[in-house]
């Protein structure tokens, strides 16, 4: 659903930070906008000095919202004495000047940076005088209040939508109540017309001299049979009964509330089926008009339900999604395969890990990693928020349990790019996780790939090759092993693994629960 919320906290004061006897102040604002979307899609725009708040805000939003595209805009506006010229970061300014000259050497017509562009460049404005902890607390407090307001706005919109849907249900119930008493009379009227037409036709046949003589009793009996069968064909008592039952269930679902989109979509299909049958059996204008009115109301409800179910994940539903773990030695092509798979398969989402290492020049917070400080990482680990964690070259890495569980509860498939040690930790907690190990066609090919990509010094390549031998020895621990000799073939094989996993009995049963029930298919004992 759509929604909007904005919270501003004025005069954030750091009394412990004073320059020239003045206290540093700032105002912090958090603005949230949501529109309908297939999944929960969070887009942040914030100053670098509060970027560390993003992981916490993500978890706060995922705990309260299940779907929708959410734009989060955070603004920190300092008081005049905080943003004075003396707060410029001279070192960052000099680095920017060198970078600008390098660009102009290649693109001479690019044009020089303007003052406003320079001041907006990350890191140019030095520490505002406000402590990072104070800003973080202010942003998170505003974020929590904004999320509360957003949930309330969406709740009010949901209540209005429920009122509209219940109004349509009431109109359909009134139509059913109105036409139910008319059915016997309409059937009798049409039966009488059939009798008159048959008698007229048989009378004409008798006058023309039929070669076969048929008694009046036989004619009367045959007319009675034909009229009775016709009455059965046009009788809509069963359809009206089922319509009433479906409308009662629809009312119950709406009044119960919660995540009702999928259930309402199913009920609209059932109601539309009965309305179509009613129209095809209509033997009077009154019934045909009733069928058209019902279908119009159902279509209106369907359009409203699309705001809850449109573009939904075809594999998502009220069942856990699938968890895929992709492991490979460095240089085997894991990242390229994963990126192409994600680009071609909108049903699967990549888990973004936490790390304490600093971001590289081409990395964006929340895309490659969530970049956080060591104390926050340790806090998350102590609270059990990490599914797995490891220390590599003095930096910590970890996978968010909260985010993965939230996605899987909604039936979203999640993919982890992970090492074999992390995969072992995950497998202990998610026994149904699907492990995919990617092998190079040979160690010589692996070495050639490492050298061609030009990212590492020769001594680093040697270390990676030595580590690859140890990593490859763990391939037997994984359910699927792909050999990335031909990229297209390896990609097709990975897509096949994903598709086969979605066709497991548990996933199929959850997607086609009604069909499985009708066919009498039950879960195996091991399921």
Question: What is the pLDDT at residue 310?
Answer: 41
Mean pLDDT calculated for residue range 45-74: 86
The total number of residues shown for the chain amounts to: 527
Mean pLDDT calculated for residue range 62-87: 73
For 208, the token pair is 């023309």
For 511, the token pair is 């997607």
Q: What order do you get walking across the sheet with 68-78 strand by strand?
A: 3-19, 22-35, 68-78, 40-45
Question: What is the pLDDT at residue 526?
Answer: 38
| Cα–Cα dist 201/133, whole Å | 96
Mean pLDDT calculated for residue range 12-34: 67
CA distances from 318 to 59, 155, 170, 509, 513 (A): 21, 21, 28, 11, 11
End-to-end CA distance of the chain: 36
More confident of the two residues 186 and 295: 295
| Cα–Cα dist 76/50, whole Å | 9
Residue ranges covered by each domain of the chain: 3-88+125-157, 165-309, 323-518
Res. 235 pLDDT band, cuts 50 70 90: low
Question: What is the pLDDT at residue 326?
Answer: 95
For 237, the token pair is 């008592």
| Cα–Cα dist 377/332, whole Å | 29
| Cα–Cα dist 76/433, whole Å | 42
The strand pairing partners of 35, in sequence order, are: 69
Handedness of CA 254, 260, 261, 265 (dihedral sign): negative
For 308-338, the pLDDT digits (tens) are 644 444 444 444 688 999 999 988 999 899 9
Res. 394 pLDDT band, cuts 50 70 90: confident
- Using the predicted structure, report yes or no on whether residue 370 has a pLDDT greater than 80: yes
Report the top-level CATH class of 323-518.
alpha beta
Q: What is the DSSP string of 148-201?
A: HHHHHHHHHHHHHHHHHHHHHHHHHHHHHHHHTTHHHHHHHHHHHHHHHHHHHH
For 168-196, the pLDDT digits (tens) are 999 999 998 888 887 777 767 766 776 66
Res. 49 pLDDT band, cuts 50 70 90: confident
Mean pLDDT calculated for residue range 208-223: 59
Mean pLDDT calculated for residue range 246-273: 83
Q: What is the DSSP string of 280-328?
A: HT--SHHHHHHHHHHHHHHHHHHHHHHHHHTT--TT-SSS---EEEEE-
For 97-106, the pLDDT digits (tens) are 888 888 888 7
Question: What is the pLDDT at residue 314?
Answer: 42
| Cα–Cα dist 518/507, whole Å | 17
Question: Which run of H or E residues covers position 31?
Answer: strand 22-35
3-88+125-157: CATH, from 3.30.70, 3.30.230, 3.30.43, 1.20.1530 = 3.30.230
Q: What is the DSSP string of 76-126?
A: EEE-TTTTSGGGB-HHHHHHHHHHHHHHHHH-TTS-PPPHHHHHHSTTSB-
């Amino acid at each position: 659903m759509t929604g909007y919320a904005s919270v501003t906290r004025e005069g954030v004061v750091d009394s412990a930070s004073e320059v020239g006897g003045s206290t540093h102040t700032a105002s912090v604002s958090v603005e949230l906008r949501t529109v309908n979307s297939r999944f929960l899609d969070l887009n942040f725009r914030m100053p670098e000095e509060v970027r560390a708040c993003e992981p916490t805000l993500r978890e706060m939003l995922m705990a309260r919202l299940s779907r929708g595209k959410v734009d989060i805009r955070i603004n920190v506006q300092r008081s005049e004495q905080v943003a004075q010229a003396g707060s410029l970061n001279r070192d960052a300014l000099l680095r920017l000047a060198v970078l600008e000259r390098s660009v102009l050497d290649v693109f001479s017509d690019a044009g020089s940076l303007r003052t406003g562009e320079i001041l907006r460049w990350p890191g140019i404005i030095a520490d505002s005088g406000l402590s990072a902890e104070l800003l973080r607390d202010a942003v998170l407090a505003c974020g929590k209040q904004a999320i509360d307001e957003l949930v309330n706005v969406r709740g009010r919109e949901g209540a209005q939508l429920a009122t509209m849907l219940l109004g349509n249900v009431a109109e359909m119930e009134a139509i059913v109540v109105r036409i139910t008493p008319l059915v016997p009379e309409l059937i009798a009227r049409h039966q009488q017309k059939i009798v008159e037409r048959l008698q007229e036709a048989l009378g004409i046949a008798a006058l023309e001299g039929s070669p076969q003589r048929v008694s009046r009793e036989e004619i009367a009996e045959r007319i009675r049979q034909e009229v009775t069968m016709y009455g059965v064909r046009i009788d809509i008592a069963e359809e009206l009964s089922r319509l009433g039952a479906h409308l009662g269930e629809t009312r119950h679902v709406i009044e119960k509330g919660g995540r009702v989109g999928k259930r309402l979509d199913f009920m609209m299909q059932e109601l539309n089926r009965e309305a179509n049958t009613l129209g095809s059996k209509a033997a009077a204008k009154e019934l045909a008009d009733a069928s058209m009115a019902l279908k119009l109301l159902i279509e209106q409800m369907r359009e409203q339900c699309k705001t809850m179910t449109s573009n939904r994940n075809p594999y998502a539903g009220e069942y856990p999604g699938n968890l895929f773990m992709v492991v490979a030695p460095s240089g085997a092509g894991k990242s390229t395969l994963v990126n192409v798979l994600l680009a071609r398969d909108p049903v699967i989402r990549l888990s973004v890990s936490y790390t304490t290492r600093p971001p590289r020049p081409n990395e964006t917070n929340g895309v490659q990693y969530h970049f956080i400080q060591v104390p926050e990482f340790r806090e998350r680990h102590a609270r059990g928020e990490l599914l797995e964690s490891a220390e590599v070259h003095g930096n910590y890495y970890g996978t968010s349990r909260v985010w993965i569980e939230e996605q899987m509860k909604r039936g979203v498939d999640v993919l982890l790019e992970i090492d074999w040690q992390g995969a072992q930790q995950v497998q202990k907690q998610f026994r149904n996780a699907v492990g995919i190990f990617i092998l190079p066609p040979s160690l010589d090919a692996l070495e050639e790939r490492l050298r061609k990509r030009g990212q590492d010094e020769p001594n680093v390549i040697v270390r990676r090759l030595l580590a690859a031998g140890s990593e490859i020895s763990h391939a037997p621990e994984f359910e699927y092993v792909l050999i990335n000799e031909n990229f297209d073939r390896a990609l097709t094989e990975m897509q096949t693994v994903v598709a086969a996993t979605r066709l497991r009995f548990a996933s199929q049963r959850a997607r086609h629960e009604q069909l499985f029930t009708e066919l009498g298919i039950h879960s195996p004992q091991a399921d």
